[in-house]
Amino acid sequence: MSDGYTPGTEAFTMVPAGTQASDKPATRRNVPTRGGEANPSAAQLVAKFGPAIVRTWVGCGETNVVVQAERIHDVIQWLHEDHGQRYEYLVDVTAVEYRDAGRPLEVVWHLRSLSFLRFLRLKVELPVRGPLVVPSITDIYSGADWMERECWDMFGIRFAGHPDLRRILLWEDYREGFPLRKDFPLRGRFSRAEQLKQVLAADPEARYSKEELTIAEAFDSLPEDMRRRIATDIASGDDEFGE
Amino acid sequence: MSTRTVEVELQQTQLDALGNVVRAPLVVAERGGTVGAASPLAEPGLESDHMLINIGPQHPATHGVLRLVLELDGETVVRCIPHIGYLHCGFEKIGEYRQYNQIIPWTDREDYLNSMGNNVSFVLGCERLFGIEITPRCTVLRVIAMELSRIMSHVVWVGTTAVDIGAFTPFLWIFQERENIYNLLEGWVGARLTTTGTRIGGMAADIPDGWLEGLQAFVRGFYKTLDETDKMLTKNAIWSGRTVGLGVMSPVDATNAGLSGPMIRASGVAYDVRKDFPYLDYETYDFDVPVGLHGDVYDRYLVRMEEMRQSCRILEQAIARLPDGPINVNDPRVILPPKSKATSEMESMIHHFKLVMEGPRPPAGECYVATESPKGEKGYYMVSDGSAKPVRWRIRPPSFVNLSAIPQMVEGHLLSDVIAINASIDIVMGEIDR
């Protein structure tokens, strides 16, 4: 698959800082608003992976490819490493849940090839009621780390193989569920009184993770109940609303 | 406790014949907990435990409510664990309960140094969903808005970073220019910080009479301020001593980590959304993309300084080409009828009422619109199911992705350098936490 080509090394031109012009010609037109050309990678993906590619279409000038969940890691790895694809740049990892409860939840990857100036959207469809698990691509793109954590935080999608899948924007013992799911009310699951109670009960010392307290050798000196809570809560990431 | 004397060799910054800073290869302090045979300080009894240092969330040098937990070996950072989310208020969730035009004020508040730029990026996405081509005058006005925001954001960056590193004067000089931009924006849309200056299909307001002359005067004066700041900082031995060789990201690492904007360009990757995936006719403007060679804090500074000059070039071209004509498209799906008609004709009044109360309804579809914000690639991913409220409104925050590489950048450096490296990322916590 890859013959010694390290993604991201060849395509770039090194220009000294200062007023030198970029050598990329400014010839491309604005992105079309309707339709547009299909990204050739879509057809090549179908040829390469066959039945693993569920469907492809072009909308708003962007090419969408729906991939089977179990093959998404292989597909992204191939797109990243193949000479003809060179998707060096991971733009975004996110998810979409539709208001129509019958529609599957979609995990969305936006990839960009800086060498060929292409943009590709990959999707995996997951049944809303089923296990929300997709493979992590942190081994391909280091930038996927926080994006996947945010996706877990907001949607409860597990990224199998992620080295450190913790909540990122919300605090680690947040118990109300996953905010961007459509069954999550805008004001949260708990009443204001309950939320206030939890905030007042929170111990500022517990804002350090077990890992961090171990560095400071402070973990062992914590009270027994706090030690138990930190040790059990953080590693699991489970709560009653997940899955 | 034993006492010891450590001889410190001060490294003088060398300038070559042209006055440029001569770069020495970065010497990274010994890492790790094993103060072993390799370390010159390995005397018996000098090993010490690693220390846990907490910076933030309330710390002036973290530019907001960022919290970094650092594991230190002596003064060297062994590990950096960032904590974010102190400013999280669920913009994306709220957006699902708002009409498209009602989301525009939220875009002001994420990256509040680039509010006009965010407004433009967001409505570009809406317009792609609707399939609207905006008018030529609106296109040029939006370019002016985006470049003014870029200058404003970079100005704040240079000022605050200089303060972080110990130079106070540039802060005062360059913040005067920020004030000028705010005055310009105030004259245009009536607000200074939270502008909400765009609407789907056009702008909230056309520029007032005499505004272009004010812009022209600003651009002329800004070159001068830039030169002065340049003189103060670029060849300043303290400045270069505290920035050269810090937080280096190689081109491959920077690309792989998804960095964008001045961060990736300082690493030598000429990736600029304006050039590579143009919008708003940026391909017809004559401007250069500055690219660094070393990927360190100093190069990020140089890149941003040069970007401000290029923004001024774009502004000059935009002033020269600004055409006359309407600023709003003639599309009743998104544009309100004139107020005089809405109060005198029944059909216009109904039209006005429905647009305000029910909101514009884009056809079902999805799009991702990326623009080059001062921080990097700012993208809006919008999914519509044909109703007046988006199914999903996703912000691709450049600061968030740039900040995620901070452990990679600070580990192995000294504690005091963490401040400089963190400043160089140009984070805005409103955008990171959303």
Partners of B256 on chain A (C-beta within 8 Å) are 7-8, 88, 141-143
Interface contacts A/B by beta carbons within 8 Å: 212
Partners of B403 on chain A (C-beta within 8 Å) are 146
Q: How far is B268 from chain A (nearest CA, A)?
A: 5
CB A118 within 8 A of CB A39: yes
Task: Specify if B159 maps to a domain.
Answer: yes
pLDDT in tens, B293-349: 888 888 899 899 999 999 999 999 999 999 988 888 888 888 888 888 888 888 888
Asked if A117 reaches chain B (Cβ–Cβ under 8 Å), the answer is: yes
Strand (E) or helix (H) holding B163? helix B136-165
CB B376 within 8 A of CB B260: yes
Task: Residue window 63-102, chain A: list those with CB within 8 Å of chain B.
Answer: 64, 88-92, 94, 96-100
Based on its alpha-carbon atoms, the radius of gyration of chain B, rounded to whole angstroms, reads 24
Contact A91 B377 (CB under 8 A): yes
pLDDT in tens, B344-389: 888 888 888 888 888 888 888 888 999 999 999 999 999 998 888 9
Asked if A214 reaches chain B (Cβ–Cβ under 8 Å), the answer is: no
Regarding beta strands A53-59 and A89-96, do their DSSP bridges make them parallel or antiparallel, or are they unpaired? unpaired
Task: Specify if B372 maps to a domain.
Answer: yes
A124: β partners = A107
Partners of A186 on chain B (C-beta within 8 Å) are 93-94, 97
As for the ipTM of the complex, it is 0.82
Structural domain spans, chain A:
40-186
Burial bucket for residue B334 (CB in 10 Å: 0-12, 13-18, 19+): buried
Alpha helix (H) ranges present in B48-135? 91-95, 100-110, 115-130
Which of B50, B271, B373 has the most A C-beta neighbours within 10 Å, making it the best mutation to test the interface with A? B271
Q: Which of B141, B119, B117 minimizes the C-alpha distance to B319?
A: B141
Query: CATH number, domain at B95?
Result: 1.10.645.10
Q: Which of B177, B128, B57, B172 minimizes the C-alpha distance to B368?
A: B128
Q: How far is A113 from chain B (nearest CA, A)?
A: 10
**Which structure tokens are listed for A20?**
């030198």
B8 contact partners, CB below 8 Å, separation of at least 6: none
Contact A169 B291 (CB under 8 A): no
Per residue in B380-410, is it b (16+ CB within 10 Å) or e — as a string?
A: bbbbbbeebbbbbbbbbbbbbbbbbbbbbbb
What band does A34 get if pLDDT is binned at 50, 70 and 90? low
What does each C-alpha distance from B332 to B130, B203, B329, B348 come to in angstroms?
A: 12, 15, 9, 10
User: Does residue A19 carry a pLDDT above 60?
Assistant: no
DSSP state string for A125-161: EE-TTS--EEE--TTT-TTHHHHHHHHHHHH--EEET
DSSP state string for A20-56: PPPSS---PPPPPSSS-PPPHHHHHHHHHHGGGEEEE
Average pLDDT of the residues in A154-176: 86
DSSP state string for B167-220: --HHHHHHHHHHHHHHHHHHHHHS-SSS---EETTEESSPPPTTHHHHHHHHHH
Do you know the residue count of chain B?
Answer: 434
Per residue in B312-329, is it b (16+ CB within 10 Å) or e — as a string?
A: bebbbbbeeebeeeebbb
Task: Specify if B21 maps to a domain.
Answer: no
Q: Which of B155, B156, B208 minimizes the C-alpha distance to B185?
A: B208
Contact A179 B93 (CB under 8 A): yes
The winner for highest mean pLDDT among A10-14, B25-29, B44-48, B111-115 is: B111-115
Which of A10, A30, A123, A125 has the most B C-beta neighbours within 10 Å, making it the best mutation to test the interface with B? A30
Question: What number of helices (H) and strands (E) belong to chain B?
Answer: 17, 8
Q: Tell me, what's the pLDDT at A8?
A: 42
Task: Report the predicted TM-score, pTM, of the whole model to 2 decimal places.
Answer: 0.82
Distance of CA A220 to the CA centre of its chain: 35
Architecture of the domain made up of A40-186: 2-Layer Sandwich (3.30)
Among the partner residues A12, A143, A184, nearest to B270 by beta-carbon distance: A12
Task: Specify if B407 maps to a domain.
Answer: no
Contact B367 A90 (CB under 8 A): no
Burial bucket for residue B108 (CB in 10 Å: 0-12, 13-18, 19+): buried
Contact A8 B132 (CB under 8 A): no
CA distance A104 to A110: 19
Task: Specify if B180 maps to a domain.
Answer: yes
Based on its alpha-carbon atoms, the radius of gyration of chain A, rounded to whole angstroms, reads 22
What does each C-alpha distance from A180 to A98, B122, B195, B368, B392 come to in angstroms?
A: 11, 20, 27, 19, 9
Regarding beta strands A133-135 and A158-160, do their DSSP bridges make them parallel or antiparallel, or are they unpaired? parallel
Q: Tell me, what's the pLDDT at B73?
A: 82
Q: Tell me, what's the pLDDT at B62?
A: 78
Burial bucket for residue B159 (CB in 10 Å: 0-12, 13-18, 19+): buried
Asked if A171 reaches chain B (Cβ–Cβ under 8 Å), the answer is: yes
Q: Tell me, what's the pLDDT at B16?
A: 67
Q: How far is A39 from chain B (nearest CA, A)?
A: 14
Asked if A57 reaches chain B (Cβ–Cβ under 8 Å), the answer is: no
Asked if A168 reaches chain B (Cβ–Cβ under 8 Å), the answer is: yes
Q: Tell me, what's the pLDDT at A170?
A: 86
Sign of CA dihedral B415, B420, B423, B424: negative
Q: How far is A193 from chain B (nearest CA, A)?
A: 19
Partners of A8 on chain B (C-beta within 8 Å) are 251-252, 255-256
CB B248 within 8 A of CB B254: no
CA distance B278 to B275: 6
Among the partner residues B93, B268, B391, nearest to A98 by beta-carbon distance: B391
CA distance A78 to A62: 20
What band does B85 get if pLDDT is binned at 50, 70 and 90? confident
Average pLDDT of the residues in B194-198: 89
Q: How far is B362 from chain A (nearest CA, A)?
A: 12
User: A217 or B86, which is more confident?
Assistant: B86
Q: Tell me, what's the pLDDT at B30?
A: 41
What band does B248 get if pLDDT is binned at 50, 70 and 90? confident
Asked if A229 reaches chain B (Cβ–Cβ under 8 Å), the answer is: no
Domain span holding position B298:
91-328+361-397
What's the number of domains chain B is made of?
A: 1
Q: How far is A235 from chain B (nearest CA, A)?
A: 16
Regarding beta strands A158-160 and B51-55, do their DSSP bridges make them parallel or antiparallel, or are they unpaired? unpaired
B44 contact partners, CB below 8 Å, separation of at least 6: none
pLDDT in tens, B60-79: 777 788 888 888 888 888 88
Residue B157 sits at φ, ψ, to 5 deg, of -60, -50
Asked if A123 reaches chain B (Cβ–Cβ under 8 Å), the answer is: no
B261 contact partners, CB below 8 Å, separation of at least 6: B372, B373, B374, B375, B376, B377, B398, B402, B426
Among the partner residues A20, A60, A186, nearest to B288 by beta-carbon distance: A20
